[in-house]
């Protein structure tokens, strides 16, 4: 057995009872944390202590804890998901921190994402963007033969790169304007690239970008903070592609 | 939703009007550089060429530029206000990865350029800032005719330390504005890819630097006494 050196950390965590509560930072001490803990397990430990002390645990979103569902959502020391390249909070490990560190933990902050409680925000605005056109409305019929529609490999790859988006909203949290362009760009591109999605491409890009505004997201100013925040490495080339699709749609 | 109220549509209008002004800045710089003597008769001859163009072309050109500036300022202010509201509460810790001083301060460098534009027009177009060197009032001979002494006006202006300082400061603002703006144009128009985008960021900054050096060369060489009237 390796010896388990433990660390003690100071956490400064955003606590807010509901959307109307002004909210404030509270300071906690995380004790007996090893480098093997994940960030969320570290919070589990802190919450256990809080519960034993009769206090409200820190409320945060999580589900798969293996980096694929997009539920976890925390801004750590100013960086969505903690700032480690292509890593969700649940995949961030305490070996990245050292004994005595002070860590700020905040929720996604954007007008379109009202805070529900503590670190949980309401991300249904992203669903509204999808509902506005993030689908194809073709009749699917029976199961089609594989390769009945031929798609060149580079095109399939490009669509797959866009489809990696897990809808976590870190791009919005990272954007100083609270814009949802990387998310929407990924969804618009994924469908516009493929033959099944091309038929409705013009209508789709218009209604999905309209939904962005109606949901209260800001506009893009090409800071590229979204790309730095994205745990799935979605490239801003998909924003450029969406801009191109939008221009094309004006003449469709 | 109308193009002019959509998110990307307004952004595209910013990009096109901004880039049109960049093209103007290229032509303007080339024209101004006639002060260094590559044109027979120098900047006085260049100014005379411009003013002997047919009146409708001159007026049309000025109106088009005015329209560009107006649209750019209008949507610039509107989008900035909207975007400031996009994140009503800031993070306790600021940790930007990709945003730059230039990208975060477009509205301020733009506003400085707008103020400079007004000053610059008053100085050299309407010639009300220092009437004693106003070119329209001081005619000099050129190829057997009498033409306004633009060279005298420019040299007279830039010998003044504060005038040179204002122009140099404005060109710093131009450098910052364009170091973000030029690459932003290609991204907004949808013309950049994952390969070209990082290169465009560098090229855009380089071109912006070229504008800065080219434009400040005139006040600097005059103030240093290298270029004389
Ligand atoms: C006259 C006052 C001006 C104001 C108030 C202003 C303001 C702005 C603002 C707010 C932006 C958007 C920033 C962003 O999206 O990140 C912008 C972008 C831009 N501006 Fe200006 N600006 C002015 C003058 C100029 C001038 C004189 C030029 C060119 C010589 C210029 C070229 C550009 C370019 C190329 C862009 C990038 C467009 C894009 O985002 O795609 N601007 N300006
Ligand atoms: S683009 Fe990236 S950061 Fe934005 S929602 Fe998708 S996975 Fe999350
Ligand atoms: S909890 Fe599923 S991605 Fe983090």
Q: Which atom of ligand 1 is nearest to the CA of A222?
A: 16
Nearest-by-CA chain A residue for B88: A111
User: Which chain A residues have a beta carbon less than 8 Å from that of B88?
Assistant: 109, 111
Q: What is the pLDDT of residue A1?
A: 47
Q: A-contacting residues of B 44-83, CB under 8 Å?
A: 79, 82-83
State chain B's mean pLDDT as an integer.
95
B12 CB near a chain A CB, below 8 Å?
yes
Over residues B104-115, the pLDDT tens digits come to 999 999 999 999
pTM of the model: 0.94
Residue B19 CB neighbour total at 10 angstroms: 18
Fold of the CATH domain A7-106: Ubiquitin-like (UB roll) (3.10.20)
Verify whether ligand 1 is closer than 6 Å to residue B111 (CB atom). Answer: yes
Q: What is the pLDDT of residue B133?
A: 87
Residues with Cβ < 8 Å from B220, sequence gap 6 or more?
A: B164, B168
Ligand 3 centroid, distance to A99 Cα (angstroms): 25
Q: A-contacting residues of B 98-127, CB under 8 Å?
A: 98-100, 103-104, 106
pLDDT band at A95 (very low <50, low <70, confident <90, very high): very high
Q: What is the pLDDT of residue A2?
A: 54
Over residues B64-94, the pLDDT tens digits come to 999 999 999 999 999 999 999 999 999 999 9
Which has more confidence, B65 or B1?
B65
Provide the residue ranges of all domains of chain A, joining segments of one domain with +. 7-106, 123-139+146-251
Output the six-digit token pair for A116: 């529900």
Q: What is the pLDDT of residue B83?
A: 98
Q: B-contacting residues of A 161-220, CB under 8 Å?
A: 174-179, 181, 206, 209-210, 212-213, 216-220
pLDDT band at B143 (very low <50, low <70, confident <90, very high): confident
Over residues A135-167, the pLDDT tens digits come to 999 887 888 888 888 999 999 999 999 999 999
Q: Indicate if the pLDDT at residue A3 is higher than 70.
A: no
> Which secondary-structure segment (H or E) carries A76?
strand A75-76
User: Which chain B residues have a beta carbon less than 8 Å from that of A179?
Assistant: 7, 83, 86
Fold of the CATH domain A123-139+146-251: Fumarate Reductase Iron-sulfur Protein; Chain B, domain 2 (1.10.1060)
Q: Structural domains in chain B?
A: 7-83+100-223 (1.20.1300)
Q: Are A83 and A147 in contact (CB under 8 A)?
A: no
The single residue listed with the structure tokens 């199961």 is: A143
Over residues A27-83, the pLDDT tens digits come to 999 999 999 999 999 999 999 999 999 999 999 999 999 999 999 999 999 999 999
Output the six-digit token pair for A73: 């959502």
Distance, in Å, from the CA atom of B144 to the CA atom of B49, rounded to the nearest integer, reads 15
Residue B193 has its nearest CB partner, among A225, A237, A245, at A237
């Amino acid at each position: 057995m390796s010896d388990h050196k433990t660390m003690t950390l100071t956490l400064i965590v955003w606590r807010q009872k509901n959307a109307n509560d002004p909210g404030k930072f509270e300071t906690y001490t995380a004790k007996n944390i090893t480098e093997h803990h994940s960030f969320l397990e570290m919070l589990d430990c802190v919450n256990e202590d809080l519960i034993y002390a009769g206090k409200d645990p820190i409320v945060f979103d999580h589900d798969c804890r293996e980096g694929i569902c997009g539920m976890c959502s925390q801004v750590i020391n100013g960086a969505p998901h903690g700032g480690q390249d292509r890593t969700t909070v649940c995949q961030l490990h305490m070996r990245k921190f050292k004994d005595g560190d002070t860590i700020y933990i905040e929720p996604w902050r954007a007008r379109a994402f009202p805070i529900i409680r503590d670190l949980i925000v309401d991300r249904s605005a992203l669903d509204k963007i999808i509902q506005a056109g993030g689908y194809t409305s073709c009749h699917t019929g029976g199961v089609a033969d594989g390769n009945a529609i031929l798609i060149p490999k580079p095109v399939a790859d490009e669509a797959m790169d866009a489809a990696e988006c897990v809808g976590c909203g870190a791009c919005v949290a990272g954007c100083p304007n609270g814009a949802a362009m990387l998310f929407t760009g990924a969804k618009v591109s994924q469908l516009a690239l493929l033959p099944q999605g091309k038929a409705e491409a013009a209508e789709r890009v218009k209604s999905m970008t309209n939904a962005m505004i109606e949901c209260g997201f800001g506009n893009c100013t090409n800071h590229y903070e979204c790309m730095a925040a994205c745990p799935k490495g979605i490239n801003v080339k998909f924003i450029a592609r969406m801009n191109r699709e939008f221009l094309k749609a004006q003449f469709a | 939703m109308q193009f002019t109220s959509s998110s990307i549509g307004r952004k595209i209008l910013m990009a096109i009007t901004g880039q049109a002004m960049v093209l103007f800045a290229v032509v303007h710089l080339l024209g101004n550089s006639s002060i260094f003597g590559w044109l027979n008769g120098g900047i006085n001859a260049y100014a005379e060429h411009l003013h002997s163009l047919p009146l409708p072309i001159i007026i049309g050109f000025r109106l088009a530029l005015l329209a560009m500036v107006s649209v750019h300022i209008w949507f610039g202010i509107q989008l900035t206000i909207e975007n400031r509201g996009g994140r009503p509460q800031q993070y306790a810790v600021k940790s930007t990865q990709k945003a730059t001083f230039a990208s975060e301060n477009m509205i301020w460098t733009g506003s400085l350029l707008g103020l400079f534009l007004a000053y610059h027009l008053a100085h050299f177009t309407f010639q009300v800032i220092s009437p004693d060197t106003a070119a329209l009032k001081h005619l000099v001979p050129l190829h057997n005719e009498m033409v306004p002494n633009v060279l005298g006006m420019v040299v007279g202006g830039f010998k003044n330390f504060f005038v040179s300082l204002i122009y140099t400061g404005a060109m710093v603002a131009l450098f910052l504005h364009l170091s973000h703006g030029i690459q932003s144009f290609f991204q907004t128009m949808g013309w950049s890819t994952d390969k070209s985008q990082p290169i465009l960021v560098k090229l855009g900054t380089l071109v912006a630097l070229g504008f800065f050096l080219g434009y400040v060369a005139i006040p600097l060489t005059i103030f240093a006494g290298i270029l004389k009237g």
